[in-house]
Structure 1
Amino acid sequence: MFGTIHRNIRLSALVLGALSILGFRSILAVDPVEKATKPNVIFVLADQWRSDAVGYMGNNDVLTPHLDRLAKESLVFENAVTVMAVCAPWRASFLTGQYPLTHGVFYNDKPLPNEALTMAEIYKEQGYQTGYIGKWHLNGHARGEHPFSARDKPVPKDRRQGFDYWKVREVTHDYNNSFYFDENDQKQIWEGYDAFPQTDSAISYIKKNKDNPFLIMLSWGPPHNPYHTAPEEYRKLYDPAKITLRPNVPEEFQDSARQIIADYYAHITALDKAMGDLLAAVEKEGLSDNTIIVFTSEHGDMLFSKGVLRKQRPYDESIKVPMLIRYPEKLSQARHVRAPINTPDLLPTLLGLSGIKIPKTVEGTDYSKPLIAGEDLGNDGALIMLPVPFHEWKFMNGGREFRGIRSERYTYVKDLEGPWLLYDNQTDPFQQQNLVNQPESKELQARLEKVLQSKLKQTKDRFMPADYYMTQWNYLYDSSDSLRTEDYLQLR
């Protein structure tokens, strides 16, 4: 299905490819002076790691010593907001710098189009080596095929969106002795806890490419559920009875929450160890100053806050993620950034930090200049959305379409019936008092409504029912109980 779609390739790329085939590698070598102006980029992505589950944000239960050290050398984004709190849409929005209704991946296991202009393609044009290791989740399946049919298959070369070095599994939630496919579609095994050999591969890649500018993306599967599958030595670090719960976890779920969070933290501490290995390798190779290191996650996890698990919902546990950016050469002063940054903003900001021109296809905002200058980002909030509820929060169990704004202080969300949620996250950090449509909130709500409408206009989002977008993109719901039935409003 996808192999028939090919991008237009610039003449210069064709010439370089021909030279490479003929063996003229010396001609293609990057000049040392040019290399000095091109920062390396190491992007580390976790899955379902919520923003408060790190020591540097004041969590005294979780052990993250390596990330805590990295935070002291980085920009710490206190309000990194995922535009859509679910896996594939985040990935597509990050790689393209676009909003979900532009690139069309607003539903898991749908394909990012081949013609999309992506991060790796942009950096590759600038002479970068490009590599990807870990979970991909952007190949999708053809219309009418089983919804998870591509998860255990290799990703075709023309579907790798510009990444050349390739050790990838489309999707798995088995994090021990899991298999993956290499550049030649050969099945291999990540022995043991897969985040560890994945990180080792990233370290090997960095060592081999240290004399050329490189972009490597390391994508871990955890701490996404199943929660109990972290190595035993890390699980032993946590006693569920000693876990501190957020006040918005209902009493009837607290025992379950403590056990799940203890296991969740075990994954996190294991990943922190892997991050420590990666940072040590970068330092050993002398690459620290001229390397942009980003650590973040796709989305969070409710972990029984408000009595529910997982993501998609517009609450902070779901939409806020940890994010650190270290780049000593230009971001010399570590600090906390409180203004929101949204998923589509990450690519243009990285391009700005790298000195690369931002393509016109990118919709996000480049915040590199204010970050370098130590200034406020100067925005009025990040857009959050769910065009189509599905899987874990489908219509049959209360899922609803929504659009909203997460500003530095407030959360404002509408569904198709009108204003739904309004929280003052400064006075109510656990979002327990909904102020929507209250007389005392009238002016605030009107102001946030204006901001939201401006964002929707800017992104050409008409905020239509889910069926509209499914039809527009020729998608099928993956299960019959995900369908938006006429009486779904009564099911919420």
Structure 2
Amino acid sequence: MPDFKRPILIFFGGLLLLAGYMYQVEIDVSSLIGSESTASTAPILTDRIPDSKPNLVFVLADQWRAQEIGYASNTQIITPNLDKLSAQSLIFQNAVATMAVCAPWRASFLTGQYPLTHGIFYNDKPLATKAVTLGKIYKEAGYQTGYIGKWHLNGHARGENSSAGRNLPVPKERRQGFDYWKVREVTHDYNNSYYFDEENRKQTWSGYDAFPQTDSAISFISRNKKNPFVLVLSYGPPHDPYFSAPKEYQALYVAKKLVLRPNVAVEFQDSARRVLAGYYAHATALDHAIGDLLEAIELAGIADNTIFVFTSEHGDMLMSKGALKKQRPWDEAIKVPMLMRYPAKLKPGIVENPIGTPDLLPTLLGLSGIKIPKSVEGEDFSKDLVPGRDLGNHAALIELIVPFHEWKFLNGGREYRGIRTVRYTYVKDLKGPWLLYDNQTDPYQMKNLVNDPAHADLQKELEAMLQAKLRKTKDEFLPADAYMTQWNYLYDPRDSLRPKDYLMINRDF
């Protein structure tokens, strides 16, 4: 070939490759979605422009509350890797679990919908096989997809005991677009943990399961580093049982030396310190695993073009207000840590305004340059992820549609709807306004201002914001039984139906 023709062929060949790449980036997911999205693509917020579609690594802890992490000014917990990550990330100071309980959070994250839309407002109910989910959307856009760890979305048949569904493999057609598959529906036996692989073969995680799960994630990343991929790594800890972390991590904490939040009553403090020490041990073990994962991403040479998210599905009361675990509307249960690192587009900083669970999927899709399905109800905040920028007059919805398990009706559980703004928490139950806190002046939510004449105008404003949220989500705020009937659900045998005198139960605790 004459030398003068070679540059011309190379030039036009390059144009063809570029055109093919642009077609791939702008892939139309209409076959999956059915319509175009109104979402905008995120602007470039740093000087570095990614060379290809970004990878997504989404690390999910279970029951890790926002207050218990080093970068959140907690000096007694040991989380060096997450603290280092925070300096490279956007720190979401008010990441809010829309429904602070396991399966509903997961369904809202994967679909970008509110619980009354996707129907998972009670644990161990099945997410629809045809749901439009994160795994399906990214797969349609050309990504390799992987999921490792806890799933909790397959559910079980009507009338079947929930433990049966928790111990069975998830059929291939119900994996919501994820191909690489090392999953168990639910377990919290972290040292005797098994999973099912792609062919539903039963396998065992060796030792403390978070560590081999992380190794599996590193293997997936190593094999797919030259192609765009999305990986969800879903840990079980620091969810109870609180005292099952590896001994070397338990040895790091002396319960009697731990300082508690001021809203833990004196009579609960000894128990609270013991529980907190075990909880911290789990968290530090996870921090170690996350450090290994981050190192692997660096060694693979893909850190700049990888969206890395760390968060949790809900928090844990840990004896604040005399309660353990979740479902409650207080910050210990609804606020979770969240870090987002994407060096190619996002500069490190702090995002103060609340972001709710359904907002995560559209925001990730916006950052990835993927069209957002009309089925998604959350907001795409990708264009607003600039440190110090206000996300707008945004309030995150918090809700409990059906109380169950540890906060069932007979334990004082009740339906509620509320909002968490950057400063205030406002919550109603079926009897009317229930809670109002100024979280700036009262960060431990110890002074309920609801129906205080001095705050009447504020309460009216927050009530209007809540009603707007309920209208937008088509939520009539009915008693739990109405939604259980509507979705043809049965209460779990562990739970009690609503007592006849339910509305007379004392609400002031």
1:236-256: CA deviation from partner (whole Å, max 9, x where unpaired): 000001111000000000000
User: Aligned partners of 2:73, 2:499: CA distance in 1, in Å?
Assistant: 44
Separation in 1, partners of 2:334, 2:319: 15
1:322 corresponds to which residue? 337
Find the counterpart in structure 2 of residue 186 from structure 1.
Answer: 201
| Structure with max Cα Rg | 2
Measure, in 1, the Cα distance between the counterparts of 2:177 and 2:122: 22
1:135 aligns with 2:150: yes
CA–CA separation in structure 1 for the residues paired with 2:308 and 2:99: 23
User: What does the per-residue CA deviation read over 1:103-129, in whole Å, with 9 as the maximum and x for residues that have no partner?
Assistant: 000000000011110001000011000
1:295 & 1:62 partners in 2: Cα distance? 17
> Aligned equivalents of 2:141 and 2:352: distance in 1?
32
The answer to whether the 8 Å contact 2:424/2:439 transfers is yes
Question: Does structure 2 retain, via aligned residues, the 8 Å contact 1:190–1:197?
Answer: yes
Q: Deviations over 1:22-55 (max 9, x none)?
A: xxxxxxxxxxxx9933000000000000001100
Name the SS of the counterpart of 2:129 in structure 1. coil
Query: SS state of the match for residue 227, structure 1?
Result: coil
C-alpha contact (below 8 Å) 1:74/1:334 kept by paired residues: yes
Residue 111 (1) aligns with residue 126 (2): yes
Look up the SS of the partner of 1:426 in the other structure.
coil
Distance 1:179 1:480 in 2: 25
| Secondary structure, aligned partner of 1:67 | helix
The alpha carbon displacement at 1:373 in A equals 7.7
Partner Cα separation in structure 1 for residue 474 and residue 504 of structure 2: 29
Report the counterpart of residue 277 of structure 1 in structure 2: 292
Question: Which of 235, 238, 241 matches 1:220?
Answer: 235
The reply to whether residue 489 of structure 1 matches residue 489 of structure 2 is: no
Structure 1 distance, partners of 2:31, 2:490, is: 40
Whole-angstrom distance in 1 between the partners of 2:231 and 2:85: 18
8 Å Cα contact 2:349-2:387 kept in structure 1: no
Matched-pair contact (CA < 8 Å) for 2:449–2:455: yes
CA distance in 2: counterparts of 1:219 and 1:200, whole angstroms: 13
Matches of 1:480 and 1:243, distance apart in 2? 34
Shift in Å, 1:147:
2.2
Which residue of 1 is the match for residue 113 of structure 2? 98
Which of these residues, 287, 291, 309, is aligned with residue 324 of structure 2? 309
* Cα displacement string for residues 189-236 of structure 1 (whole angstroms, at most 9, x for unaligned residues): 000000000000000000000010000000000000000000000000
- Pairing 1:427–2:459 present: no
Q: Partner residue of 1:26?
A: none
* C-alpha contact (below 8 Å) 2:242/2:275 kept by paired residues: yes
Give the structure 2 partner of residue 157 of structure 1: 172
Query: What's the CA shift for 1:167?
Result: 0.2
Closer/same/farther in 2, CA of residues 188 and 463 from structure 1, 3 Å limit: same
How far is 1:148 from its partner?
2.2
Say which of 344, 353, 356 aligns to 2:358: 344
Code of the aligned partner of 1:427:
T
The corresponding residue for 1:388 is 402
Specify which of 241, 246, 252 is matched with residue 261 of structure 2. 246
Q: 1:31 matched to which residue of 2?
A: none
Alignment partner of 1:460 is 2:467: no
* 1:167-190 Cα distance to aligned partner (Å, 9 max, x none): 001000100131110000100000
> 1:201 aligned to 2:216?
yes
Is structure 2 residue 65 aligned with structure 1 residue 50?
yes
Aligned residue among 425, 432, 437 for 2:451: 437
Kindly indicate whether the alpha-carbon contact (under 8 Å) linking 1:35 and 1:213 is maintained by their aligned counterparts in 2: no
Matches of 1:55 and 1:382, distance apart in 2: 25
Alignment of 1:413-424 (within 5 A): 413-424=427-438
Q: What TM-score results when the alignment is normalised by the length of structure 2? A: 0.89
The secondary structure found in structure 1 opposite 2:51 is helix
Question: CA 1:215–1:242 in 2, change beyond 3 Å: closer, same or farther?
Answer: same
Displacement of 1:394: 0.3
Alpha-carbon separation, structure 1, partners of 2:432 and 2:192? 48
Question: Which amino acid counterpart does residue 197 of structure 2 have in structure 1?
Answer: D
Match of 1:363 among 366, 377, 381: 377
SS in 2 for 1:143: coil
CA distance in 2, matches of 1:417, 1:59: 37
Q: Of 328, 341, 348, which residue of structure 2 is paired with 1:334?
A: 348
CA distance in 2, matches of 1:240, 1:313: 25
Question: C-alpha offsets along residues 346-370 of structure 1, whole Å, 9 cap, x if unaligned?
Answer: 0000000000111000000000001
The reply to whether residue 236 of structure 1 matches residue 236 of structure 2 is no
- What is the CA deviation profile of residues 316-337 of structure 1, one whole-angstrom value per residue up to 9, with x for unaligned ones? 0000000000000000x21111
How far 1:376 sits from its partner (Å)? Answer: 1.6
Query: SS of the counterpart of 2:443?
Result: coil
Give how far 1:92 is off: 0.1
The match for 1:446 is 460
Structure 1 segments unaligned to the other structure (5+ residues): 1-9, 14-33
Tell me how far apart the structure 2 counterparts of residues 381 and 215 of structure 1 sit (CA, whole Å). Answer: 29
Match of 1:92, SS state, is: helix
Task: Report SS of the residue matched to 2:270.
Answer: helix
Residues 404, 495 of structure 2: 8 Å contact kept = no
1:41 paired residue number:
56
Letter of the 1:194 counterpart: D
Q: State yes or no: 1:403 paired with 2:402.
A: no
- Does the residue aligned with 1:101 lie in a helix, a strand or coil? helix
Give, in whole Å, the separation in 1 of the partners of 2:379 and 2:505: 38
Q: Residue 76 of structure 1 corresponds to which residue in structure 2?
A: 91
Shift of 1:375: 2.3
* Inter-partner Cα distance in structure 2 for 1:73 and 1:373: 12
Query: How far apart in 2 are the matches of 1:128 and 1:195?
Result: 25
Retained in 2: the 8 A contact 1:45–1:219? Answer: yes
Supply the AA of the counterpart residue of 1:466: A
Tell me, in whole angstroms, the C-alpha distance in 2 between the residues paired with 1:256 and 1:144: 36
Count of residues in correspondence between the two structures: 463
Query: Any conservation in 2 of the 1:395–1:491 contact (CA below 8 Å)?
Result: no
SS of the aligned residue for 1:42 comes to: strand
What corresponds to 1:146 in structure 2? Answer: 161
CA contact (8 A) 1:35 1:212 kept: no
CA distance in 1, matches of 2:444, 2:273: 17
Distance in 2 (CA, whole Å) between partners of 1:482 and 1:365 is: 36
Aligned Cα RMSD in Å?
A: 1.5
Q: Provide the secondary structure at the position in 1 that maps to 2:149.
A: strand
Structure 2 match to 1:469: 483
Mapped to 1, the partners of 2:494 and 2:81 lie a distance apart of 45
CA distance in 2 between partners of 1:35 and 1:420 (Å): 48
The answer to whether the Cα contact below 8 Å between 2:58 and 2:309 also exists between their aligned partners in 1 is yes
- Which whole-Å CA distance do the structure 2 matches of 1:50 and 1:60 have between them? 15
Question: Once structures 1 and 2 are overlaid, which stretch shifts more, 475-484 or 442-451?
Answer: 475-484
